[in-house]
Structure 1
Amino acid sequence: MTGQPKSRVLDKGLWGMSAPMLVDQAVTFTIPLTDMFFLSRISDDAAAAVGAVSPLVFAGNTLLMITAFAGSSIASQRIGAGKYETANATIMAYVLLILGLAVLTALAINTGGAQVAGWMPLSEAVETHAVVYLGIIGWMVAIWGLRAAYQTILNVYGEPKWNTVSNFIFFGCNILGNSIVIFGLFGVPPMGVEGVALASVVAIFCSFVFTFTIVHWHLGLRLPFRQGLKEFRALIKPVLRIAAPASLEPVSFNIYMIVLNWIVAGVGDLALKVKVYTFNTFLFCLMISVALSMATEVIIAQRVGRGEFDEADRQMRQSLKAALWGTGLLALFWVLLNQPVLGIYTDDPAILAYGLWVFVLAFLSEPARTVNIVMGAALRSTGDAAFISYTTIAVIWLFSVPLAYILTIPMGWGIYGVMTAAIIDESVRALIKWWRWRQRKWEHFGVAAYEAREAKRREYASRAR
């Protein structure tokens, strides 16, 4: 272990960790806005097509990111207990796992995406754009997952500032690539939706190479490949105990978003375009809650590893309060500027006419969505992932999907029906998470507590024999 880096997470605290993460997420969530701008230069149909199938891309990204965060939570708990050697072996194991999942996810999106687009009631022009985009974008998802694994390493060791630089590289390369393929710069012929997808793949690859270099050359971290491979099953077991149930919730949510797009597409292309533009605009509000949740996740994991449960509880409440204020103010800003914002994408008066009330409904869903993000991350970081995942899936598919369909189609509320259902869905799930946290059962789900129970079980079994 001589010369290996030490974690600085608890020394930096919430604001020291979250400040660079906030810039990081601001860049990350600007990317969908810029992509939507470039796609709208092609046509509103192109923007609607990519927006309609983007939840499939988000589902793939989320699966890989949740696995990375689950692994980093276990590694952080190991570091909190002072077990750096085991923590680094855990990091090696979850990087190997994500590598395998990344390839499978890319193949699934590239080959199966066309079928998903075909199932949706899209117009022929919109479906054509969607199929072209999905045939390429899977490789962006795969590289994104590998980058996420390396970004969690930097978070675990208290160096999130490098993730900000990585995202600036992604953002800059993405802007340059899109400009080249959309406007035909440097003699390159305009490539439409295909070019946008290729630009994303190249941009994320450049970003990953930078992050990889920082971890291994600047930070000087040496991951024990042989130990990670040899002890893979034992090391990955506690990771999967979090990742398997935890990934069900966000993946299920993104499938839910595909279903909502399917319902909206049934209303018509106009409603779909309005929903896509609004959703991508309000994605930017997530930068605050996601940044704070990422910092909180690492801090709470190390607190739990130390057995400092009251400090973990105070940290969650501090983070949630900050996230609610920040997200609420940003969402209000979007509501006040609804017409200029929509005007960036389109000059279609029919789309602009929806502006105010659609943005107001999106604003009303933000507080509950913030609670879901911050508290979901906090619960996952402690190892208490199964309950919230299963209850979330039950709420979405037994309540929220039927409600969205009824309000939108039979009751004739159109786009307003889907967005009203989203407010109710986020609120119900937020209440469940809050109730679960206050029960404090998460105190008994940490890796140390789990391993202590397993040791007692084995001891009891050996005595029984």
Structure 2
Amino acid sequence: MTTLQTTGSKIWSAIKLSLNGEQQDYTQGSIPKAIFLLAIPMILELSLESVFAVVDMFFVSKLGQNAIATVGLTESVITIVYSIAIGLSTAATAIVARRIGEKKPEAAAHAGAQSLLICVIATIILSLAGIFFAAEILQLMGASEEVVREGVVFTRIMLGSSLVIMLLFLINGIFRGAGDAAMAMKSLWIASFTNIILCPVFIHFFGLKGAAMATVIGRSGGVIFQVYHLCKGSGILKFRRTHFSWDIPMAKSIITIAWPATFQFIIASGSWIILTRLVAETGGTAASAGYQIAFRNFVFFILPCWGLSNAAATLVGQNLGAGHVDRAAQSVMLTARYNAVLMSFVMLLFLLCAGPIIRVFTTEPVILSYGSTALRIIGSGFIFYAVAMVMSQALNGAGDTKTPTWINFGCFWLFQVPLAYLLAKGFGMHSAGAIMAVPAAEALLALVSWYYFQKGNWKKVKV
């Protein structure tokens, strides 16, 4: 057998091992193998979610620019829900990973159950607000009267189903913290495959609101699968009724880690909302539609980057729990290197092939022009996105969620938002100027996050 065949055989064996979901000890052995085993299912998990995002936009785009704008504006607001879900998920991942590293699976399950209780309470207000104020939310985002009229039901369904979104993200965070990335992958695959199948059918029969209905049904299926395996499965985590008895000290610990993480992502997503509104203001509905198509493609390629970053978070948490501080640091640096290499190829793709990519979704010349420009501008910063994500997730995985929160506030609200307004309105660059602020802010974010990771204060955090 040749060297190439031997290498290929080893890679294939590792892929099968990563997808089998067998329990692994990530606190010892080869670090590259540990990254690989965690990252492969995480990348596949998030890649299929991004496939759905692109497929969804493909079918929605056939309904016209008002439908595209509605989905884009609604998704911008839903990022607040995602932020809370990711914040709680970050806390759950950090605490569960630390307990697993300490070889305390019962304590890990208890922490995960407490995070679910907090999630349900937090979601009630969000869902009610989405149901009763959907039209006002679209108007606040700068939607035209026609967009509001056509899209209010879609927005109401999407925001009203916030609990499903929250649970899907949170429970997957619990699985990742336990090192069971394969289970997280399978649950999101169920949700995404269901979405992909139902989306064109429901859009055909129900119009734009059918896209929302398909999404809710798909994600609900994923959550049912998750809950079954948490309660009845054979993984390292086994939830029991006693784990759901309120534990005030544990709830406080979760909230202490979760609230900065939540604000961390609210800060980031809030700045995206401002930029989305600014693009709509300075370029109109066509610019907004082009931007949303570009953004969906950005999401398609950036989510695998999140997969590697999430692997770093799990490795940091488990290795700190096991007392292997140097191994935790080495895992992060190696993951950042892999991520930067991967995203450099994506950057070249966006710079060279923006037009053909956008043309898949629309042939309207104005939207095509806006979308291609947006994709090239956003694509120029992919290497910075890669490094920033790994560094931020590594700090989060250690339980140091406050540092990335302050970094996000400075880079997005004190730098990105003012720069976007300056370029778009001050310099008269309109929507293109607003989008240029994105890679500029991400470059700053990467540098600052790298600096604070190197300082090493995250090594002393107790969770």
Among 16, 23, 41, which residue is 2:44 paired with? 23
Between the aligned partners of 1:36 and 1:227, the Cα distance in structure 2 is 40
Counterpart residue identity of residue 63, structure 1 = I
Matched with 1:124 is 145
**1:353 match: secondary structure:** helix
Within 5 Å, give how 1:267-278 maps onto structure 2: 267=282, 268-278=284-294
User: Does structure 2 retain, via aligned residues, the 8 Å contact 1:174–1:203?
Assistant: yes
Distance, in Å, in 2 between the alignment partners of 1:154 and 1:235 is: 18
Instruction: Name the residue aligned to 2:314.
Output: 298
User: Does the CA contact (< 8 Å) of 2:343 and 2:382 recur in 1?
Assistant: yes
Matching residue within 275, 288, 291 for 2:304: 288
The answer to whether the 8 Å contact 1:64/1:102 transfers is no
1:203 to 218, 227, 240: 218
2:431 match: 415
Tell me the equivalent position of 1:34: 55
Counterpart among 85, 93, 98 of residue 64 in structure 1: 85
Task: Report the AA paired with residue 251 of structure 2.
Answer: I
> Are 2:26 and 2:319, in contact at CA under 8 Å, matched by a contact in 1?
no
One-letter amino acid matched to 1:242:
I
Match of 2:378 in 1: 362
Alpha-carbon shift at residue 114 of structure 1 (Å): 2.6
Structure-2 separation of matches of 1:355 and 1:223: 46
> In the aligned structure 2, how far is the partner of 1:247 from the partner of 1:29?
22
**Residue aligning to 1:450:** none
Tell me how far 1:226 sits from its aligned partner. Answer: 2.7
1:98 aligns with 2:119: yes
Moved more, 307-316 or 95-104: 95-104
Distance 1:113 1:378 in 2: 36
Which of 224, 229, 245 aligns to 2:260? It is 245
1:63-108 Cα deviation digits (max 9, x unpaired):
1122022122112112212223222211111111112223333223
Aligned match of 1:310:
326
Cα 1:196–1:245 shift into 2, 3 Å: same
Distance 2:353 2:411 in 1: 33
- Residue 12 (structure 2) aligns with: none
Change (3 A) 1:161 1:97: same
* 1:348 partnered with 2:358: no
Q: Provide the C-alpha distance between the structure 1 equivalents of 2:210 and 2:372, rounded to a whole number of angstroms.
A: 33
Distance 1:336 1:369 in 2: 19
- Report the 3-state secondary structure (helix = DSSP H, G, I; strand = E; otherwise coil) of the residue aligned with 2:245: helix
8 Å contact kept, 2:39–2:307: yes
Greater displacement, 356-365 / 24-33: 356-365
**1:160 offset after TM fit, Å?**
1.8
What is the alpha-carbon distance in structure 1 between the residues aligned to residue 373 and residue 155 of structure 2? 31
1:387 aligns with 2:403: yes
Q: How many positions carry a matched residue from both structures?
A: 436
Residue aligning to 2:448: 432
Segment drifting more, 429-438 vs 326-335: 326-335
Equivalent residue for 1:378, pick from 380, 386, 394? 394
SS of match in other structure, 2:426: coil
Superposition deviation, residue 356 in structure 1: 4.6
Give the unaligned 5+ runs of structure 2.
Answer: 1-21
Deviation at residue 176 of structure 1 after TM alignment: 2.2
Relative distance call for 1:150 and 1:357 in structure 2 (3 A) is: closer
**Secondary structure of the structure 1 residue equivalent to 2:360:** helix
How far apart are residue 129 of structure 1 and its match? 3.4
Aligned match for 2:164, one of 137, 143, 148: 143
Matched residues in 2 for 1:406 and 1:130: separation?
31
- Given that 2:340 and 2:386 are in contact with CA atoms closer than 8 Å, whether structure 1 keeps it comes out as yes
| CA offsets 1:369-420 (integer angstroms, 9 cap, x no match) | 2222211110011121112212322332233212211211232101210121
Say if 1:388 and 1:168 are closer, same or farther in 2 by CA, change over 3 A: closer
Deviations 1:235-294 (A, max 9, x none): 122222211111111112111111111111112112111211111111112122110111
> What is the RMSD of the two structures over their aligned residues, measured on CA atoms?
2.0
Farther-moved stretch of structure 1 (20-29 vs 50-59): 50-59
Contact 1:140 1:204 in 2 (8 A): no
Q: Is the 8 A contact 1:106 1:142 kept in 2?
A: yes
* Distance apart, 1:219 and its partner CA: 2.1
CA distance in 1, matches of 2:27, 2:421: 46
CA contact (8 A) 1:182 1:195 kept: yes
Structure 1 residue 180: deviation in Å? 1.5
SS, match of residue 62 in structure 2: helix
Q: Report if the CA contact (8 A) 2:388-2:445 is conserved.
A: yes
Q: Is the 8 A contact 2:23 2:180 kept in 1?
A: no
